[in-house]
Amino acid sequence: MLIVHGLDLSYFTGKLEGYLRAKGLTYRLQEMTTASFRALAQRTGIRQMPQLELPDGQWLTDTPLIIDRLEQISPQNSLTPQDPALRFLADLIEAYGDEHLWRPALYYRWAYAADAHLMSGRLADGMFADLPLPRALRRQIALRRQRSVYLRDEGVTKANRDRIEADYTDLLAALNGIFSTRDWLLGDAPTRADIGLFGPLFRHFASDPTPAQIMRDRAPRVAEWVARLWALGPDPSRSAMDLTRIPTDLGPLLHLIEGRFLPEMADNQQAVRRSAPLTRHYDEGVSFTYRTNAYRASRLSRLQASFAALTVPAQITLDRHLSPRSVAILGSGQELQPDGPMPSPGSMVRDRWWRPVERRA
């Protein structure tokens, strides 16, 4: 049996669980503690959740790479489109869900008092329960740590919070229109695009009080989609591999990806390649400044490598759906090697962003 080491309130644990359920792969969720989080980091080289333990003793980390591997070793009920253009689009939407929606998801959880109080209490009773401290102190430690890492370090300020909230509400508007006409993002079957958006929408936006109320009020079709995907099991009559056409109603969603996600990823990638300590990104006069992120740069490089490998017909198809600016960003990956030191077992332990962290017993 697969063992998912993570938390039931975790963004990427939820994403992976949604994928495993859709595939019909049996797994067990092993809740992490602070001690097991450190111990697993020493085993795999990275402080990250989830970490997937295979029955043969192998360990996998990083959800897009985990899904790549599981699609290879368990090809039945695939969530990866066979059509090259659709497959690339699914990867692009998955990356957007993983990287761009991270900031608004964590913002709503830790910037709003009611949400932060609830979730810091859950951490105090869960992952932090192994700390030999009173619950009130464990909760305060969790609250201060999460706000530091997920608000300050992500460049959240009073000046840009309206833009961050718009990232969420604009997404709801785009998705509610899509799910008013069909069950899944790219057609009649779920794909990795659905899985990529599921992490933030399930474990954060649909679960935390403030964004969940917004979802119920403004986008009930999105709330239905979240429940539908969590309840999903394998269905032989429906396959991502049978999808052949890009839907014509993706414009509002692609507008968000092209206008906000890809330009910021490109700015960060350039900062990594210049060895700049900070990334500065400007979005319609709104600024974001945060520590340069080698992992996100590498994630863009993966997309650029996939785009470069597309057949000419697939690129022509995507050219009809993507703006010239986006095509230029995706086609600019001359250096298709990892943008930074990749974590590995036995190496210096790194966090999810590939930044060195102190190694502890």
- For the chain (361 residues), the mean pLDDT of every run of 10, in chain order, is 97 98 97 96 92 96 97 95 98 99 98 98 97 97 96 96 98 98 97 98 98 99 98 89 95 98 98 96 94 96 97 96 97 61 70 68 34
Query: Distance between CA atoms of 65 and 62, rounded to whole angstroms?
Result: 6
DSSP state of 97: I
Rounded to whole angstroms, the Cα distance separating 355 from 277 reads: 12
Taking Cα atoms as reference points, which of 115, 122, 6, 1 lies closest to residue 63? Answer: 6
- What's the confidence (pLDDT) of residue 284? 87
Report how far residue 178's alpha carbon sits from residue 254's, in angstroms, rounded to the nearest whole number: 12
* CA atoms of 153 and 293, how far apart (whole Å): 11
Instruction: Give CA–CA dist 209/114, Å, rounded.
Output: 8
Could you give the CA distance from residue 258 to residue 254 in angstroms, rounded to a whole number?
Answer: 6
User: Under CATH, which architecture does the 2-104+160-351 domain have?
Assistant: Up-down Bundle (1.20)
Q: How far apart are CA 159 and CA 286, in angstroms?
A: 7
Output the pLDDT for position 217. 98
**Cα 335 to Cα 281, 303, 341, distances in angstroms:** 22, 12, 15
Phi then psi for residue 288, to 5 deg, are: -130, 130
What confidence score (pLDDT) does residue 339 get? 52
Helices 294-308, 262-273: axis angle to 10 degrees equals: 110
Residues 6+ apart with CB under 8 A from 243: 81, 82, 83, 86, 186, 187, 188, 189, 191
Radius of gyration, CA atoms only, the chain: 20
- Give the residue from 326, 324, 333 showing the smallest Cα distance to 306: 333
In the chain the first and final C-alpha atoms are separated, in Å, by 28
* Distance in angstroms (rounded) separating the CA atoms of residues 146 and 155: 13
* Residue 334: predicted pLDDT: 55
Both tokens assigned to 8: 């039931």
User: Burial, 359: exposed, middle or buried (Cβ in 10 Å; 0-12, 13-18, 19+)?
Assistant: exposed
Distance CA 93, CA 195 (A): 9
